[in-house]
Amino acid sequence: MNTRDATPMSSTTLDASGSWELPEELRMLRETVRRFMAEEVRPAEDKLPHDAYTLEPGPLKALQAKARALGLWCFETPAEHGGAGLSLLGQCIVAEETSKCRMGMYIAGCGAFGFDPPNVIWKGTPHQQRFARADIENGTKAFVAISEPSGGSDPGRAIKTRAQRHGRSTEAEIREILKAAAMPEGRVRIGDELAALGAAFGGIEIDTLDTRRSKRPMRVAKFT
């Protein structure tokens, strides 16, 4: 089954009562995922101890192989990166079904459908993306961290070293890093730009209104 949902919203239909209906392709997808959850995921989940938060590696790999054979794999990940590439509507429909397990939406379907890396990674460099592709291929969970560009593989230690070099605490150094990112030295300053514009026209005079408060006593509002 091809899980890629390229169906536009305008192609949906209305039933006899005028209610909106899902496209046939998404209805089929929902039924396939629902059946997989009932016949494959829940029986595996029922064998777990009551406090388990994940499946054992063996049963998990077996479930993932079955899901991939049906095309039910990494629903949010774009197709060009190895996922199903579902639209937001398709993702919502699938999430409703895959969250019906003990682990809920945090580990949807107990991990049977793979683990989508955060989509922000696809805006990264090819070097960064290769780690996410490996997780998609292996069915492992990916995480993304945003750090100082010069931090390398150990940004925490790099920031502490930088703070010591500048004679600041780590917290103060982080504030300076954020300030430099939000307010770079080369940014446009509106006041300076307006002053330059006025100078180009030989100077501009601004008349100000008399904003002094009236001395008259306040009148009580009356409603009739």
- Per-residue pLDDT tens digits of the chain, which is 224 residues long: 444 444 444 455 655 666 678 889 999 999 999 999 999 999 998 898 888 878 889 999 999 999 999 999 999 999 999 999 999 899 999 999 999 888 887 888 889 999 998 888 888 888 888 888 888 999 888 776 655 555 555 667 778 888 888 898 988 888 888 888 777 777 777 777 777 877 887 776 655 555 566 677 777 767 66
Return contacts of 84-89, CB within 8 angstroms, 24+ apart: 84/3, 84/4, 85/4, 85/5, 86/3, 86/4, 86/5, 87/5, 87/6, 87/7, 89/5, 89/9, 89/26
Domain of residue 52, CATH code: 1.10.540.10
Q: Say which residues have a Cβ less than 8 Å from residue 110's Cβ, sequence separation at least 6.
A: 41, 44, 45, 54, 55, 60, 63, 101, 102, 103
**Do the domain assignments include residue 107?**
yes
pLDDT for the residue numbered 12: 53
Return contacts of 43-47, CB within 8 angstroms, 24+ apart: 44/110, 45/101, 45/102, 45/110
**Do the domain assignments include residue 193?**
no
Phi, psi angle pair for 45, to nearest 5°:
-65, -35
Which among 130, 9, 133 is positioned nearest to 73, based on CA atoms?
Answer: 133
Structurally, how many domains does the chain consist of? 1
**Do the domain assignments include residue 95?**
yes
Bridge partners, residue 13, by sequence = 21
C-alpha distances out from residue 117 to 83, 85, 128, 135, 173, Å:
10, 13, 12, 8, 30
Q: Which domain holds residue 30?
A: 9-113
**Do the domain assignments include residue 210?**
no
Helix, strand, coil shares, percent, the chain, to 5: 50, 0, 45
Bridge partners, residue 20, by sequence = 14
Task: State pLDDT tens for residues 179-212.
Answer: 887 777 777 777 777 778 778 877 766 555 555 6
**Do the domain assignments include residue 221?**
no
pLDDT for the residue numbered 148: 55
Round to whole Å and give the CA distance between 104 and 98.
8
**Do the domain assignments include residue 166?**
no
Task: State pLDDT tens for residues 130-143.
Answer: 888 888 999 888 77
**Do the domain assignments include residue 25?**
yes
**Do the domain assignments include residue 29?**
yes
pLDDT for the residue numbered 224: 60
User: Does this model's pTM top 0.85?
Assistant: no
Would you give the distance in Å from CA 76 to the centre of its chain? 10
pLDDT for the residue numbered 5: 45
